Amino acid sequence: MPLLFQAGCMSPSEHRLKADRTAEEIIAEKHQEALGRDGVIDIDRPSTILRRRLLEEQDLVISGPASLGSDRLEAVEHWPDDDYLSPRTDSGDAFIQITKDEPLKLTLTDALQIGARNSFVYQEQKEGVFRAALALDVERNAFRNIFQGQVQSNISADTTGDNTVSGTVQSGTLDVTRNLYEGGQVTAGIAVDLANLLTGGGASSLGLAADTSISVPLLRGAGRHIATESLTQAERDVIYAMWEFEQYKKGFAVDVADSYLRVLRSLDEVRNQRENYRSVIASARRSRRLADAGRLQEIEVDQAAQSELRARQQWIGSMESYQGALDSFKSLLGLPPDANIELDPNDLDYIVEPTQQLRENFLTEDQALQDRPVQPADAPIELDEPSQEDAGPWELDMDRAAQIALNNRLDFRKAMEQVYDAQRKVIVAADRLRAELTLGGGAGFGSRRNSVGSAASDDAQLRWDEGVFSGLLTLDLPLERTQERVAYRNSLIALENNVRNVQRQEDQIKLSLRNTLRNMRQTRENLYIQIKSVLIAEKRVRSVNLFLEAGRAQMRDFLEAQEALLSAQNALTAAAVSYRIAELELQRDLGLLQVDERGIWREMLPEELGYAQK
């Protein structure tokens, strides 16, 4: 009794902590089952997350205490859990050092970890898993021993007769209920009463009673598969929530990488536009000098001046586009858009660097082609279609890629498992069409003293050999089952819908993979084309510059050559970034990209698939 009383008097803080422990135990239990590895999911956001540190240490604009976190809120009147508003610290973001009045520089690896701890949507996804674990705890609780206790103290006076009769009754009851996995319910209880008369000599009587009952369904509702359906679904919902979160982590990591590299690509465009602007300014100055010397017409000077204005406009536009892309990236990570942050351009160099070797290869090939005789204009022309000869390691065969995805995609596995869920729902709905036959029984011992009038009775005794026993068999004929009939038909419709959902997702996965692989092939070809375009544009600028000095070219030709070089440089960077993102998207869509609790990904190597490229 003292333990039960203590459990019933837990504070809101203690209840919260107990709920957290239970959910964490369930998540740890199901993590291995869902993903084949140990893991934890913590939904508490520490006060030291980077978002808050940036707001405070960079003196950013905030609206109030809520901008910094729940631990900064003032406890409102009647607030039940003071401990909840206490600061929660850990060392998760300690690797990020903030220097006042200097931009915070982030690498891609930093960004992945920061997003996992600061992103609003990422936090909501984790909370979804936690909610599913709490829902499972509720369903499991339905099959535990459920204790209920009550204490009453009653005082009454009866003045309707010649003599006033008054007294008190103190009662205490303790009941325990247990739902059975095979169906049915067992209940047992004990009651203690003390009735006292305050008049007529102050007689008193002690009541003591115990009773138990059981009900067992024999037809409708019978069987473990029926009685535990809600529990079974809750167990599976935790698995689904973990699969959804795991799939989200993969998509989020790719989105972060995509946004990060696009910001760096915008920064590269700013650099290209800046250099182009300087070059155009120099060209405009030279055109002025040549015109003053009588070697250029005035209209060509005007063309150069217009080109300078256009270059400035493009340079300013590129800077604004870069800042917009950077602000969007910060919001994706859950950081304030006004935070002073810079990204590491070396991450872009790492992606563009392989193009330098291709550049050298193309220069060598171009030199070899110059030594060959030029084909006549009317010679037959044969076009080389794109091939897999120079394909990247992730340009897999489409059928093999589809098979890998169907075997590894967690969202698709969920869709298939939901077909089994729908089948179980059909069985449960069909069971409700049956007659209800329930076997019940009960036993009672002792007697209650729960009224003032029983105070004059003898004290009750609890004797197990003297009791009242009963049995009951109830048959509810299935004469009216309209609602159940409709529910059964709807369950079959839901089953067909889930089957179609599997088919729909299967087709969507195949379509997405085929489009991604085509995009990779097109991007690879585009990458090669842009490398050659840069080489040609550089050669063109050099040639036109020499011709311009010799008076054999116009300023317009030189300006067009510079524009072509700028466009080719930007297109080359875009192609390199697009191909890298396509590789990550393919690994995500194949279900092979692994992301740990910190948000860091691990890419599989194509040779780990045990598949030789055709």
* Dist CA 474 CA 218 (whole Å): 10
What average pLDDT does the segment 452-475 reach?
Answer: 84
**What residues form DSSP beta bridges with 475?**
437
Do residues 298 and 202 share a domain? no
The domain that contains 243 carries what CATH number? 1.20.1600.10
Helix (H) or strand (E) holding 195: strand 185-197
| Tens digits of residue pLDDT in 539-570 | 888 888 888 777 777 778 888 888 888 888 89
Mean pLDDT of the chain: 87
Amino acid at 402: A
User: What is the average pLDDT across 109-135?
Assistant: 93
Mean pLDDT is lowest, of 142-156, 171-185, 382-396, 439-453, for 382-396
| Same domain membership, residue 169 and residue 60 | no
Find the range with the poorest average confidence among 307-311, 332-336, 604-608: 604-608
612 vs 133, higher pLDDT: 133
Same domain? 315 vs 453: no
Helix (H) or strand (E) holding 125, with range, is helix 120-141
Distance CA 314, CA 65 (A): 42
Kindly report which listed range (29-43, 104-118, 493-507) carries the lowest average pLDDT score: 29-43
Residues sharing a CB contact under 8 Å with residue 196, sequence separation 6 or more, in sequence order:
167, 168, 169, 202, 203, 204, 455
Q: Kindly state whether residue 484 falls inside one of the protein's structural domains.
A: no
Residue among 324, 344, 340, 334 nearest 52 (CA): 334
- Backbone dihedral angles phi then psi of residue 526, each to the nearest 5 degrees: -65, -35
User: Are 406 and 534 members of one domain?
Assistant: yes
- For residue 523, pLDDT over 80 is answered with yes
Rg (CA), the chain: 38
Total number of domains constituting the chain? 3
| Domain match, 89 and 12 both | yes
Instruction: Give residue 115's pLDDT band: very low, low, confident or very high (50, 70, 90).
Output: very high
Claim to verify: residue 183 and residue 125 sit in the same structural domain: no
* Residue pair 123/154 in contact by the 8 Å Cβ criterion: no
Q: Is residue 489 part of a domain?
A: no
Q: Specify the residue for token string 């003297």.
A: 466
Side-chain-side CA neighbours of 345 within 13 Å: the count stands at: 8
Which amino acid makes up residue 290?
L
| Co-location of 121 and 197 in the same domain | no
3-state secondary structure 22-80: HHHHHHHHHHHHHHCCCCCCCCCCCCCCHHHHHHHHCCCCCCCHHHCCHHHCCCCCCCC
pLDDT at 258: 94
**90 in the same domain as 25:** yes
The per-residue pLDDT for range 3-16, each reduced to its tens digit, is 444 556 788 889 98
Q: Which residues have C-beta within 8 Å of that of residue 452, sequence separation ≥ 6?
A: 156, 158, 165, 166, 167, 168, 169, 195, 197
Q: How confident is the model at residue 74 (pLDDT cuts 50, 70, 90)?
A: confident
Asked if 445 and 463 touch (Cβ cutoff 8 Å), the reply is: yes
DSSP 265: H
Range list of β-strands (E), 233-276: none
Q: Report if residue 483 sits inside a domain.
A: no
Number of C-alpha atoms within 13 angstroms, CB side, residue 368? 6
383 in a structural domain: no
**Same domain, yes or no, for 216 and 242?**
no
Closest C-alpha to 211, from 447, 438, 450 = 447
The Cα 172–Cα 175 span in angstroms is 10
- Condensed to tens digits (0 to 9), the pLDDT of residues 289-319 reads 888 888 878 888 888 888 889 989 999 999 9
Distances 437 to 66, 78, 183, 440, 472 between C-alpha atoms, Å? 57, 50, 12, 10, 10
pLDDT tens digits for 211-260? 999 999 999 999 999 999 999 999 999 999 999 999 999 999 999 999 99
Count helices and strands in the chain by DSSP H and E runs = 14, 10
User: What's the whole-number mean pLDDT along residues 432-456?
Assistant: 87
Are 209 and 312 members of one domain?
no
pLDDT (0 to 100) of residue 6: 53
Concatenate the DSSP letters of all residues of 354-369 into one string.
HHHHHHHHHHHHHHHH
Find the helix or strand (DSSP H, E) in which 216 lies.
strand 204-217
Q: 318 and 297: one domain?
A: yes
Please report whether residue 422 resides in a domain. no
Q: Is residue 115 part of a domain?
A: yes
First-last CA distance in the chain: 73
Are 204 and 126 members of one domain?
no
For the beta carbon of residue 319, count every other beta carbon within 10 angstroms. 16
Q: Report strand pairing: 594-595 vs 601-602.
A: antiparallel
Report which of 125, 144, 137, 126 is spatially closest to residue 29, judged by C-alpha positions: 137
Domain that holds residue 186: 146-157+165-222+435-477
Greater pLDDT, 391 or 92: 391
Per the CB < 8 A criterion, the answer to whether 432 and 553 are in contact is: no
Distance CA 588, CA 84 (A): 37
Residue 434 has pLDDT above 60, yes or no: yes
424 pLDDT above the threshold of 50:
yes
Overall size of the chain counted in residues: 614
In a domain, 78, yes or no: no
Cβ neighbours, 10 Å, residue 606: 18
Q: 3-state DSSP call for residue 180?
A: coil
Q: Do residues 282 and 541 lie in contact, with contact meaning Cβ atoms separated by under 8 Å?
A: no
Q: Is 377 part of a structural domain of the chain?
A: no
Q: Give the residue among 38, 14, 13, 16 at the shortest CA–CA distance from 27.
A: 38
